[in-house]
Copies of this chain bind each other. A is one copy, B any other.
Amino acid sequence: MPVMTYVQAVGRGLWEEMERDPAVLMIGEDIGVYGGAFKVTDGFLAHFGRERVIDTPISESAIVGAAVGMSYLGLRPVCELQFIDFIACCFNQITNFVAKSHYRWGAPVPMVIRGPAGGGVHGGPFHSQNPEMYFVHTPGLKVVCPSSAYDAKGLIKAAVRDNNPVLFFEHKFLYRRVKEEVPEDDYIVPLGQAAVRREGRDLTLVTYAAMVQVCLDAAEQLEKEDGLACEVIDLRTLLPLDKETILSSLRKTNKLLVVHEDTRTGGIAGEIAAMVMEEAFDQLDGPLMRVTSLDTPVPYSPPLEEYFLPNAAKVVKAARDLARY
């Protein structure tokens, strides 16, 4: 099995889908000759040609709009946003045109919008954002946030094949830091299924994307230093949310700590809090707690960004509080 980085795995998944299905197209800024700002589509233009690898002007609303039109013909366009922060520039097309199309008039929009999200690389306020909740709160979309190279390939392939619009947020901190064996097979990781990354009976850490490793590190430390056995759930897909995996872990550990890199107020932890109260209030032996980024823009300077982001130490501290509860 070849060893691949997370970013290579995304590219590999897209390449395979393009080989498999001529209906799959790529559209975005600098994705052709240059192969994309992070080289996800490197070599695609030479191999697949300019009709399938469309370099666009700096026009995010045109990228998404044109992809909608193509998808209406049964094509499966994949839009690259150079940094996911620029998704704000096509917010209207996504939330009003794309998300509501099938509900309103039965026109499916099989397309993917993908790009590099997340912080930890000193990208500052406009190259580090985590916009997932804007879209989790928009009925009609699916939202995917892979944490491993294996998942990155399997999930992007599932996203391309899905008959609904999928937002695929790649974490740029993981792009080259995650490196692992990835099968060459044509496999998919189904959307809407969380994964248990570590089993434990004392408390459950629910997380996704770059925070998965942070939680695994924290769990390791908690095991060693406190003898606490933490279960770690990687959500993988935020919408639709895999409630069952969360609830069955809760039934075992009776305590949930949600960790997300997204800012605190209105983050996914709140949605999970409401969901577990509705579904399993009597299973809670303590409050759902959360470790998140601060409610600020993402600051630029390294000490500020570190202070802003969650890390293993913050997770350990919160987990200890929760365990003691």
Q: List residues of chain A with CB under 8 Å of any chain B CB.
A: 85, 88-89, 91-92, 95-96, 99-100, 103-104, 125-126, 133-134, 136-137, 139-140, 239, 241, 263, 265-275, 277-278, 281, 284, 286-290, 294-297, 299, 325
Contact = CB atoms under 8 A, between A and B. Distances in A.
Given A270-B271, A273-B270, A96 B88 contact: yes
Contacts of A265: 136-137, 139, 239, 241, 271
A103 B297 contact: yes
B136 A266 contact: yes
Contacts of A136: 265-266
A297 B140 contact: yes
Contacts of A269: 274
Given A136-B266, A140-B297, 10 more contacts: A88-B91, A88-B92, A103-B299, A104-B125, A139-B265, A139-B297, A270-B273, A274-B290, A277-B287, A278-B289
A270 B274 contact: yes
Given A88-B92, A265-B271, A290-B274, A296 B134 contact: no
Given A85-B96, A92-B91, A265-B239, A103 B140 contact: no
Q: This chain: how many copies in the complex?
A: 2
Nearest to A92: B88
Contacts of A290: 274, 278
Contacts of A286: 281
A73 to B, nearest CB: 23
A267 B268 CA distance: 10
A287 B278 contact: yes
A297 B104 contact: yes
A281 B284 CA distance: 10
Q: Which 7 pairs show the lowest CB-CB distances between chains A and B?
A: A137-B266, A270-B270, A281-B287, A277-B287, A88-B92, A91-B91, A273-B273
22 contacts: A91-B91, A96-B125, A96-B126, A99-B297, A103-B125, A104-B297, A134-B137, A139-B265, A140-B296, A265-B271, A269-B274, A270-B275, A273-B277, A273-B288, A274-B288, A274-B290, A277-B277, A277-B288, A278-B289, A281-B284, A281-B286, A281-B325
A88 B96 CA distance: 8
B277 A266 contact: no
A299 B287 CA distance: 37
Contacts of A325: 281
Contacts of A100: 125, 297
A282 to B, nearest CB: 8
Nearest to A99: B297
A114 B288 CA distance: 35
Nearest to A88: B92
